[in-house]
Amino acid sequence: MRISPLFKILTCAAALQMGAVATLADDEKSPWQIRVRAISVTPDESSTTSIGGEATADSSIVPELDITYFWSKNFATELILATSKHNMGARGTALGNLSLGDTWVLPPTLTFQYHFNPEGGVRPYVGAGINYTIFYGGDEGDVDSVEYDDGFGWALQAGADFKIDDNWVFNIDAKKLWLNTDVEINGGAVTADVDLDPWVFGAGFGYRF
């Protein structure tokens, strides 16, 4: 049976189109990425207290996990998960310098990001979003009780991914979080309005599925 030239042309065109679709499917990346970083959480605190002086909080180095979903090559949403322990205190108060023990801080943070060079070897990004800060697992130090209010705050972010291979990247990241809490000491006998506002600097590795 003789095959017409038109049929041959259509067959070849269909084969080329299927090959192109297969190539695109092979090259298409999953929208999901995870990163694991070591981060330094450094409070930039300011406060007002009912007995004068100012609240203090020390720095902490902890691991961090983030999960990123890419809506497109350039736009992504990132959920950042980490918890850190801080020694708390008050200095220069009417009662002198006080140890307020320590507390764990959990500020899950959601940022919306723009990635400037998603296909390049260096992939910078910026982000902005919100956090919700939870205080837990503390002890009291020199006082009978300390209570911290949980609450919402803002977040800004900048960083870069450095390509290692098709899936792995090395990452550096900096965030500024705005964390405010109202503090009650000894059942409200002493109160304070504390802005922790930490800087968070991190480095680690990411994997794009």
Q: Which of 130, 134, 120 is nearest to 163 (CA)?
A: 120
Report yes or no: 148 and 138 within 8 Å, Cβ to Cβ: yes
Q: Which of 131, 140, 125, 126 is nearest to 181 (CA)?
A: 131
Digit-by-digit pLDDT tens for the chain (209 residues) are 555 554 455 455 455 555 444 443 445 789 999 999 999 999 999 999 999 999 999 999 999 999 999 999 999 999 999 999 999 999 999 999 999 999 999 999 999 999 999 999 999 999 999 999 999 999 989 999 999 999 999 999 999 999 999 999 999 999 999 999 999 999 999 999 999 999 999 999 999 99
* pLDDT in the model for residue 6: 47
* pLDDT in the model for residue 23: 41
Helices (H), 28-98: none
Domains of the chain: 30-208 (2.40.160.20)
* pLDDT in the model for residue 162: 98
Give residues with Cβ within 8 angstroms of 149, minimum separation 6.
135, 181, 182, 183
* pLDDT in the model for residue 8: 53
* pLDDT in the model for residue 75: 98
Q: Which two tokens stand for residue 144?
A: 């009978």
Report yes or no: 88 and 60 within 8 Å, Cβ to Cβ: no
* pLDDT in the model for residue 21: 42
